[in-house]
């Protein structure tokens, strides 16, 4: 499927406001007050990305933690946990970490080596983030374990911030470095400030070929040298007369 990064974005919000700006090829950080239309704009960008591709598989869209939909209302686990478990274990459709690992069986030896290195790199990133709470993850065969004080704990025992960070990074990892659109709505929710500060650098490291659109209220998200990628809603929005 053909892919081209989004350059010019022109749309309207609620039939009341026009929004127009030129997107950065790598990272776009959309900032604005509550009610300014950041999430609505992100939904419009999703439609534009889908039009560019015609294929949802090259689009990652992670809503804010409060807007993740329940996959199975019969389960006790909350929506965030269910989503994380899906992208870790689902074997029916993919993408999931276990689906990714199973695909190694039919891969060439060179590709297997590359995929193993990517998984080790992913674990290293997560374990670096989790080290302050004494946790780490292990991925081996068809098993994914969270280890705390030498004991395996369930995914649900992770904090909401840990689950959220793991979900975001896992979904970007599963794009396998391919060209893609990554849309994140207020990813700072539940994340420690130090994690907010590191987030974009980690995302770009996991997939430097993606074009990112991120809405946020937190200055920490763009604190590490990404200030020139900010798009202020008030600067790109005009009333429809």
pLDDT at 212: 98
Spatial distance between the Cα atoms of 132 and 168, rounded to a whole number of angstroms: 19
Report whether pLDDT(1) > 60. no
pLDDT at 57: 86
What confidence tier does 112 reach under pLDDT thresholds 50, 70, 90?
very high
From its phi and psi, is residue 30 left (phi > 0), alpha (psi between -120 and 50) or beta? beta
Does residue 169 lie in a domain region? yes
Does residue 54 lie in a domain region? yes
pLDDT in tens, 182-218: 999 999 999 999 999 999 999 999 999 999 999 999 9
Does residue 1 lie in a domain region? no
What lies within 8 Å, CB to CB, of 176 at 6+ separation is 100, 118
Q: How many domains does the chain have?
A: 1
Does residue 157 lie in a domain region? yes
Does residue 230 lie in a domain region? yes
Report whether pLDDT(173) > 90. yes
pLDDT at 235: 98
Does residue 212 lie in a domain region? yes
* Residue 186 structural domain: 8-66+79-239
Could you tell me the CATH number of the domain that includes residue 151? 3.40.50.300
What lies within 8 Å, CB to CB, of 129 at 6+ separation is 165, 195, 198
Average pLDDT, the chain: 94
Does residue 71 lie in a domain region? no
DSSP designation for 224: T
Does residue 2 lie in a domain region? no
């Amino acid at each position: 499927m053909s892919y081209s990064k989004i350059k010019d974005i022109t749309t309207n919000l609620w039939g009341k406001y026009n929004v127009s700006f030129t997107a950065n090829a790598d990272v776009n950080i959309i900032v604005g007050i509550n009610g300014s239309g950041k999430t609505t704009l992100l939904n419009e960008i999703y439609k534009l990305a889908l039009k560019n591709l015609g294929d949802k598989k090259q689009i990652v869209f992670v809503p804010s933690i409060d807007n993740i939909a329940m996959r199975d209302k019969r389960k006790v686990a909350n929506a965030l946990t269910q989503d994380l478990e899906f992208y870790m274990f689902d074997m029916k459709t993919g993408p999931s970490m276990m689906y990714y690992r199973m695909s190694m069986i039919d891969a060439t030896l060179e590709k297997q080596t590359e995929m193993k290195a990517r998984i080790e790199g992913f674990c290293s990133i997560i374990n670096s983030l989790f080290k302050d709470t004494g946790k780490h993850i292990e991925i081996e065969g068809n098993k994914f374990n969270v280890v705390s004080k030498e004991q395996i704990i369930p995914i649900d025992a992770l904090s909401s911030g840990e689950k959220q960070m793991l979900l975001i990074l896992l979904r970007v990892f599963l794009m396998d470095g391919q060209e893609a659109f990554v849309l994140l709505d207020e990813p700072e929710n539940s994340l420690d400030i130090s994690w907010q500060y590191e987030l974009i650098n980690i995302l770009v490291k996991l997939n430097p070929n993606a074009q990112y659109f991120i809405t946020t209220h937190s200055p920490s998200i763009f604190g590490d040298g990404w200030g020139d990628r900010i798009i202020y809603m008030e600067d790109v929005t005009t009333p429809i007369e």
